[in-house]
Amino acid sequence: MAAPHTGAWWRDAVIYQVYPRSFADADGDGVGDIAGIRARLGHIRELGADAVWISPWYVSPMADHGYDVADYRDIDPLFGTRADAEALIAEAREAGLRIVVDLVPNHCSDRHPWFRAAVAAGPGSPERELFHFRPGRGEGGELPPNDWPSNFGGPAWSRITEPDGRPGEWYLRMFAAGQPDWNWDHPAVREEFASVLRFWLDRGVAGFRIDVADYLAKAPGLPDRAEYTGESRDPWSDQDAVHEIYRGWRRVLDSYDGERVFVAELWNDDPVRFARYLRPDELHSAFNFPFLQARWDARAMREVIDATIAEHALVGAPTTWVLSNHDTTRHVTRYGRVETGYGFNRAELHGTPVDLELGTRRARAAALLTMALPGCVYIYQGDELGLWEVEDIPMELRQDPAVVGTGGADPGRDGCRVPIPWDGDRAPYGFSPPDADAGPWLPQPADWKAHTVAAQTGDPDSSLELYRRALAVRRAEPALGDGTLTWLPAPGGVLSFTRGQGLVCTVNLSGEPAELPPHTELLLTSGPLDHGLLPPDTTVWLRGAE
């Protein structure tokens, strides 16, 4: 199938993820904010990104750090004001950066006025129909209405106290108790979100990252998982009805000038079902989590790359490559362990030995691999600094609801959300101003001095300079970005492919140094060569010989 939208920026953009809480704190309260992002936009521009995806900045009680939204049209005072957001969008545009905002349509916050009205209105009211309220099972309704589990541990239901003071109905919440799921069968919910899309499009955003994009529609009747026999894996996700929602959204987006993008967060390992979200009248792109989860192993990597390209080709959508985000263990740490795959097995792997030097070498090699593959690349703030997962945050300082919901069995995601080190030789490393009232909301490691943006700038061996050079080459080389890939013969454990007119990328995932393929020019390596050979865990970009 011919690729639709050939040449559209989102087919091969480099998109930098900002997690606002942890990026830069301008007002000194220990939490990042929009003024901080504005002050540090230069960093993202100099890195060479095309767009910035900003994790939720909306009004929120922060039960899940902003993924619990109480007002989709306004900014939380912790982060600033709507005027700050508008100023950021305008300044980014001037700097050549597009802003992609995070949309959380599966659930809101229990402080959202519509949810509060639903609780106040009582059972059977039209207000309750906007959510999934049900009586409990058991004699006194004391048991959850079905067997669905929350992503944060325990049942996916919370029981409310009715306005008359009695224990009452339960509401569905696939994540924290403070995140009630919307009822997407209700036309008012659909209208509201179309209006929210327009609200931000009118303010000049270039697109939306869609949180848990496969969860919106639920199996009719909310059947027990144990009884469920539908085509999708689970009754709470990947229902056929979700596609109609996205076709509607696409019409809204397409009614605006310019090329704008939807990127779906969906964890779905069935290639055909995954591709359905990316049909030409639905969403443009989705994160490639199977790649993020793959082991650092030549065969596993090649399989996932081939499968990715094949599944996206089914619908003509661009592939995307992502190594880390605000939910996953940072890849320096993952690749520094014996078990290099990622299957949300945080509890199992947390605290197991990590060889940071090895992880860093592989992370650098992986960065050059992702930037050479066809399609879009996502960079999570701090990837470019070679940051690792901070695993020794004391239990009492952890804030992720996944920790609380599982009684600490899940170590949670705080370790990848530690505030970014900008400069200086001790915490807060320029994250907050020197006269800040409060320390960073999560403690930063004592040994991040060499990892600040300032310390790495100008050091040719630093991760930051590697990222900057690689993105500059990627921008200058027409062969990189959108297009096709051709595998080259390579020894066992080595991956080698060409892009377009003779640009070669070779990754050595074996334990032995490897010969370089024939070439006329060495463009970039992720680490030094060894007597002309490519050492283990190293990637090279070459201009291939004819």
CB of 237 to ligand TEU, least distance (A): 9
Residue 541: its H or E element: strand 538-544
443 contact partners, CB below 8 Å, separation of at least 6? 390, 393, 394, 397, 418, 427
CB of 409 to ligand TEU, least distance (A): 11
The site string for ligand TEU over 322-351 (x = CB under 6 A, - otherwise) reads: ----xx------------------------
- Size of the chain, expressed as the number of residues it contains: 546
* 209 or 276: CB nearest ligand TEU: 209
**Which of 545, 544, 512 shows the shortest CA–CA distance to 372?**
544
* 104 or 263: CB nearest ligand TEU: 104
* 104 or 524: CB nearest ligand TEU: 104
The site string for ligand TEU over 138-157 (x = CB under 6 A, - otherwise) reads: -------------x------
The site string for ligand TEU over 76-105 (x = CB under 6 A, - otherwise) reads: ----------------------------x-
Establish if 37 lies at the interface with ligand TEU (CB under 6 A). Answer: no
Cβ neighbours, 10 Å, residue 499:
22
* 84 or 327: CB nearest ligand TEU: 327
Establish if 238 lies at the interface with ligand TEU (CB under 6 A). Answer: no
Measure the CA dihedral 418/59/100/379, to 10°. Answer: 10
Establish if 402 lies at the interface with ligand TEU (CB under 6 A). Answer: yes
Residues 51 to 80 in contact with ligand TEU, rule: CB under 6 A: 64, 67
Q: Are 536 and 365 in contact (CB under 8 A)?
A: no
Establish if 50 lies at the interface with ligand TEU (CB under 6 A). Answer: no
Q: Are 420 and 385 in contact (CB under 8 A)?
A: yes
Q: Which of 59, 119, 212, 292 is in the footprint of ligand TEU by CB under 6 A?
A: 212
Q: Which of 84, 169, 211, 214 is in the footprint of ligand TEU by CB under 6 A?
A: 211
Euclidean distance between CA atoms 27 and 480, whole angstroms: 40
Point out which residues pair with 544 in neighbouring strands.
519
The site string for ligand TEU over 156-185 (x = CB under 6 A, - otherwise) reads: -------------------x----------
* 125 or 151: CB nearest ligand TEU: 151
Establish if 108 lies at the interface with ligand TEU (CB under 6 A). Answer: no
How deeply is 155 buried, as exposed, middle or buried, from its count of CB atoms within 10 A (0-12, 13-18, 19+)?
middle
For 195-231, give one letter per residue: b (16+ CB within 10 A) or e: ebbeebbeeebbbbbbbbbbbbbbbeebbeeeebeee
Strands across the sheet with 503-508, in order? 485-487, 494-499, 503-508, 538-544, 519-525
CB of 103 to ligand TEU, least distance (A): 11
* 275 or 402: CB nearest ligand TEU: 402
Q: Are 344 and 402 in contact (CB under 8 A)?
A: no
Establish if 274 lies at the interface with ligand TEU (CB under 6 A). Answer: no
CB of 326 to ligand TEU, least distance (A): 6
Euclidean distance between CA atoms 159 and 135, whole angstroms: 9
Q: Give the interface size with ligand TEU as a residue count (CB under 6 A).
A: 11
Distances in whole angstroms, Cα of residue 457 to Cα of each of 362, 370, 440, 447, 512: 21, 22, 23, 17, 31
* 75 or 416: CB nearest ligand TEU: 416
**CB-nearest residue to ligand TEU:** 67
Judged by the rule CB under 6 A, the positions of this chain that interact with ligand TEU are 64, 67, 104, 151, 175, 211-212, 265, 326-327, 402
